[in-house]
Chains A and B, each alone.
Chain A
Amino acid sequence: MTLRTDTLVRARGEMGVTLVELLVAVTLLSLALATVAVLATAVLAGFEADPAAADEQQRVRSGVNALVDDVQRAGSGFIQAPDDGPGAGLPSLLPDAVSGGPWVVRAVPHALTTVQGRRGAAHATLRTPATAGDQWLQLGRPAYCSAVSVTCGFAAGDDVMIFDAHGRFAIAAIRQVAPPLDLELTAPLAESWRAGASVSSIVAHGYGLRPDPVTGLGQLVRSLAAGPASPVIDFVTRFDIDWHAAVGVPVLRVAPDGTLEDATAGPRPPMPGVVSETAWPAGENCAYTRDAAGAPAWRGGAGPASLGAFGDGPWCPSAGAPSRWDVDLARVARVTITLGVAVASARLRPPLSVLRGAGNGSARVVPDLVVVTDLIPGRLNGGQ
């Protein structure tokens, strides 16, 4: 009797659980753990996807920022002969990568070169003619030459543009600067230049899309003039440039006394009877012909701009020049840049079925980010 009492007491105080209690406990615990697991899975997925999305946005912003800065400054900074330089007499946006030596500007998809002169950049003119094959440029020191340095602001390693009033240009790199103000170039000149031609220190940034066979995506790269390309952003899905021309064709302003003034675009033609390029009749150049009455008229195309129109001429300064560009590039007033990027992790990229609208599966994915930006080159930001 006593034993039975003890057993009962122990059973009440120390006995384990019944099968039903165990099942209930296990079920409840399983529910709780399942809930936690579901939440944790979502959090872990977010932990991977959200930083990836943030990184994607960061990269696209970095790329757009670089492009905006360069396009909006294109054509600016040329205080010397501004009517002849990039943005006016020469194009400041080009659909090709800069080529060392002779450069025939091609119409290349997914390529964009911007040309600008930095504020306070070095400018000078040739004090003696330079002939093809020369590697030295002898410059005259202009009164407004930068007084910051004895070299007038020119420095070894800088890129310079040599240009004249008729659409002729060349891009070269400086090897050294010697007194009084002579520039040794890294490569011989491809053509001859008259005394008085402008020489300006420039920044030419060339953008392009470099395919990455490993990821199947691309890399936006940027080169300084004809230098090697450096990556700007990775995992690029799109880098497209749409070219837009100004409304109407360029014209030449004529003053009330009949004097030919500035051209709204392209190099200004010579006065009637004057030959600027042997390839063109007197009073004409690559950009302007003359009608029966002798009035200047635009030589290039008149319709909407397209990439295809930038590789078929008329060529400036002439079709036979070592470095030449399609005159229709002078009409470019705006570019629309489309930049698309994907996340770095291939697992987080949407499968093609999603891109095609055939369902998105169950995995969490980060869609590609596509930014479309309309940009006006610096020279034209303030209008004409």
Chain B
Amino acid sequence: MTNRIARTEHGFGLVSVLIWLSLLGTLALGVALATSAEAPAAGALHEKLKMTRAAESAVALAVAVLAQHPDWTSVPAGAFPSTFTDGPVGARLVGGAVVDLAAETNLRTCGRASLCDDMATSASSPARPWGVRNPRWRLLVHQPLTALDATAGVVCPCYLVAWVADDPADADGDPGHDAPPGAGGHGVLLVRGAAFGGLGALAEVEALVAQPCRRSALPCGGIRVQSWGAVSDGVP
């Protein structure tokens, strides 16, 4: 009988230890839960800034290409050579996700992945509010960041794309051509840059660029950035 009771009472120590462990474990878990969201949140902010910088790089490349050419008349029509490309337009694999350059271009031009027609392109929406003057985006830059800068490509394994279009305020009303000299909006184009990252990450920047000497008949080279800003989420 004595032995039986003794055996029963031996468990008290274990129980008390377990209670203490549970209490301490609960406290530790609470602290861990309260603070564990911090690292991912900080990481997300860092990732967002990184992607935005990459998108700005895409715009900078497009600006560099445009700055070398004095005549922008046919640029909105797409008849424009670019050195920052990685081959024919098609699908690219970026961080496990497929980026279809043609579909991405259509998405921004008319809001759908399939080929755009005039009606779809001219349809007004918050993302494309200018109706018949909505940008008809043309690819100007498409290549991985690593092809430009191997070190930067390691930090951000992004794929850079930039499009160019006529500016909506162009006085000639023809979104396929830049306005002629003397008309309002001559020598002004809209450029959009995008950085595609892994798992569908995307950042976009849009800039309005102008030729510095667009008022005179004689271009003087260079380029002037009129406006530069990130494109908000949900506004493709």
Complex contacts, A361 vs chain B, CB 8 Å:
none
- Complex CA distance for A50 and B171, rounded to whole angstroms: 59
Flag A146-159 by CB within 8 Å of B: 1 or 0 each: 11100001000000
B119 beta carbon closer than 8 Å to chain A: no
- Complex CA distance for A148 and B123, rounded to whole angstroms: 9
Asked if B208 and A79 sit within 8 Å, CB to CB, the answer is yes
- Complex CA distance for A87 and B210, rounded to whole angstroms: 14
Complex contacts, A43 vs chain B, CB 8 Å:
24, 27-28, 31
- Complex CA distance for A43 and B125, rounded to whole angstroms: 55
Asked if A381 and B56 sit within 8 Å, CB to CB, the answer is yes
Knowing A73-B229, A79-B167 touch, does A382 contact B207 (C-beta < 8 A)? yes
Asked if B130 and A261 sit within 8 Å, CB to CB, the answer is no
Asked if A119 and B169 sit within 8 Å, CB to CB, the answer is no
Complex contacts, B220 vs chain A, CB 8 Å:
253, 255-256, 261
- Complex CA distance for A233 and B31, rounded to whole angstroms: 23
Flag B178-209 by CB within 8 Å of A: 1 or 0 each: 00000000001000000000000000001111
Choice from A65, A120, A261 contacting B215 with Cβ under 8 Å? A261
Interface centre among A57, A68, A69, A144 (most CB of B within 10 A): A144
Asked if B27 and A51 sit within 8 Å, CB to CB, the answer is no
A23 beta carbon closer than 8 Å to chain B: no
Question: Size class of A's contact patch?
Answer: 35 or more
Choice from A51, A147, A261, A378 contacting B229 with Cβ under 8 Å? A378
Asked if A88 and B226 sit within 8 Å, CB to CB, the answer is yes
Asked if A382 and B228 sit within 8 Å, CB to CB, the answer is yes
- Complex CA distance for A175 and B24, rounded to whole angstroms: 60
Asked if B45 and A384 sit within 8 Å, CB to CB, the answer is no
Complex contacts, B77 vs chain A, CB 8 Å:
none
Asked if A50 and B31 sit within 8 Å, CB to CB, the answer is yes
B81 beta carbon closer than 8 Å to chain A: no
A51 → chain B, closest Cβ, in Å?
4
Chain A: CB-nearest residue to B217 = A257
Asked if B31 and A253 sit within 8 Å, CB to CB, the answer is no
Asked if A51 and B34 sit within 8 Å, CB to CB, the answer is yes
Q: List 18 A-B contacts (CB under 8 A).
A: A47-B34, A51-B35, A54-B37, A77-B227, A79-B227, A87-B227, A120-B127, A144-B130, A144-B133, A144-B168, A144-B170, A253-B220, A255-B220, A261-B212, A261-B213, A380-B228, A382-B228, A384-B225
Task: A78-B227, A262-B224 given; name 13 further pairs at CB < 8 Å.
Answer: A77-B229, A82-B210, A87-B227, A88-B226, A143-B133, A143-B173, A144-B130, A144-B169, A261-B216, A262-B212, A378-B229, A382-B60, A382-B207
Q: What is the interface of chain A, defined by CB distance below 8 A to chain B?
A: 13, 36, 39-40, 43-44, 46-47, 50-51, 53-54, 57-58, 61, 65, 68-69, 72-73, 75-80, 82-83, 87-88, 116, 118-120, 123, 142-144, 146-148, 153, 253, 255-257, 259-262, 378-384
